């Protein structure tokens, strides 16, 4: 993979692989509500700028999400992503069941609100997530 950094901070890193038409976003550590909003907005901006259709979001470093962060993600964040060319989002979730369920509930809520216009799949590790993202679409 040939990765080019789009955004980097101490809590979030976004890279673009133009060869595979893929965006990779990785949370670097547990984050605050404001950092969730900043990172999510940067992901939206990266998808808008690159027009990529596939993204991997690695949230293994996530711990507790505030109710405000969950609310923002379920409503605003997924609505923003639906305004991009995104077709597939692979999420690599934390190993902790509690933290994994919190993130899964965000997508469930966003889907119930009908703000997700792309496929979302959850994974335990990046290799499986990448495999799903890179599989050829059926005609």
Cα distance between the two ends of the chain: 25
Q: Sorting pLDDT into bands at 50, 70 and 90, what band is 139?
A: very low
94 in a domain, yes or no? yes
Number of domains in the chain: 1
Tens digit of pLDDT for each residue in 67-113?
999 999 999 999 999 999 999 999 999 888 777 788 888 888 888 88
C-alpha distances in angstroms, 100 versus 69, 84, 87, 90, 139?
Answer: 15, 25, 22, 14, 33
Q: Are strands 88-92 and 4-8 parallel, antiparallel or unpaired?
A: unpaired
Q: Is the pLDDT of residue 10 over 60?
A: yes
Please give the angle made by the CA atoms of 53, 77 and 35, to the nearest 5 degrees. Answer: 110
**pTM metric for this prediction:** 0.89
Residue numbers of the domain that contains 45:
4-134
139 in a domain, yes or no? no
């Amino acid at each position: 993979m040939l990765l080019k950094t789009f955004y980097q901070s101490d809590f979030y890193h976004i890279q673009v692989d133009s060869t595979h038409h893929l965006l990779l976003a990785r949370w670097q550590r547990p984050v605050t509500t404001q950092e969730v909003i900043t990172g999510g907005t940067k992901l939206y901006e990266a998808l808008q700028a690159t027009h990529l259709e596939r993204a991997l979001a690695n949230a293994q470093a996530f711990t507790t999400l505030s109710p405000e962060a969950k609310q923002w993600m379920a409503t605003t964040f997924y609505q923003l992503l639906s305004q991009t060319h995104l077709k597939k989002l692979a999420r690599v979730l934390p190993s902790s069941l509690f933290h994994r369920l919190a993130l899964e509930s965000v997508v469930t809520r966003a889907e119930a609100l009908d703000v997700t216009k792309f496929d979302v799949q959850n994974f335990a590790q990046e290799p499986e997530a990448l495999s799903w993202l890179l599989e050829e679409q059926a005609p």
